[in-house]
Amino acid sequence: MSAGAGIRVLIVDDHEVVRIGLRQLLGSSGGFRVVGEAGTMAEAISMSQKARPDVVLMDVRLPDGSGVEACRKIKADNPEVRVVMLTSYSDEEAIVGAVMAGANGYLLKQADAERLTEAIREAAAGDSALDPRAAGTLLSQFRELSAKQAESELQGLTDREKRMLALIAEGYTNRAIGEVLHLSEKTVRNHVSQLLRKLGFQRRSQAAAWAGQRRLELPFDERGSP
């Protein structure tokens, strides 16, 4: 991202009124620059190549294909671009497909304006953002591994890393994790980066899916609103 230029955002949605609303929201929030808009998968791929955005805000369902497939192709062309899925649908297939396609975040359109802009900033900074409802879907999608296998795979993690991973899986931001674990946001960011390297992941969403597969959950007294 160019210094001082703001986060370059490409908006992809087949409804013009949605694109207008998102453009106005980002324009009034500060720190963003909409560099293009697209209403189809083909336009999204072409515009991403031309505009070279920092973040693509991508609808899952497009008239000529899937936003998930568009995400896969955009990331294949430019692995540095961040893709945040923004959709009305929380179906399991779309969420898991988006994570596997390399999406850096998955938000439902019911998210408020502050959460949306925060998610774009997180993606641009290299983090990932999962809507808590989407995170819950990932948790329920991967429940079939045995407790013995999960325990074996988690042996290399410290208790703090396990707690942090469980919070990531439930959709907590770095700030929210810091509040639960009584750490600064900067400290949490460093710990999360180390945890991802330890697990061999590049994206937070991959760690969330991994934790969901291994049935990693928070103690009851640590549960709260992300």
The domain that holds 213 is classified in CATH as 1.10.10.10
Residue 2 lies in a domain: no
Residue 211's contacts (CB-CB under 8 Å, 6 or more residues apart) are 139, 165, 166, 168, 169
Residue 137's contacts (CB-CB under 8 Å, 6 or more residues apart) are 90, 91, 92, 95, 96
Residue after which a domain boundary falls, among 96, 123, 138: 138
- Residue 190 C-alpha from the chain's centroid: 18
pLDDT, residue 213, reads 65
CATH of the domain at 38: 3.40.50.2300
Same domain, 63 and 173: no
Same domain, 131 and 156: no
Task: Report the number of distinct structural domains present in the chain.
Answer: 2
Tokens describing residue 154 = 């988690």
Same domain, 104 and 204: no
What's the distance, Cα to Cα, between the start and end of the chain in Å? 28
Residue after which a domain boundary falls, among 72, 106, 138: 138
What is the number of residues in the chain? Answer: 226
Domain of 95 in residue numbering reads as: 7-138
pLDDT for 173-208, tens place per residue?
A: 999 999 999 999 999 999 999 998 888 888 888 888
Radius of gyration of the chain (CA): 17
What is the rounded average pLDDT of the residues 29-49? 95
pLDDT for 73-94, tens place per residue?
A: 999 899 899 999 988 877 777 8
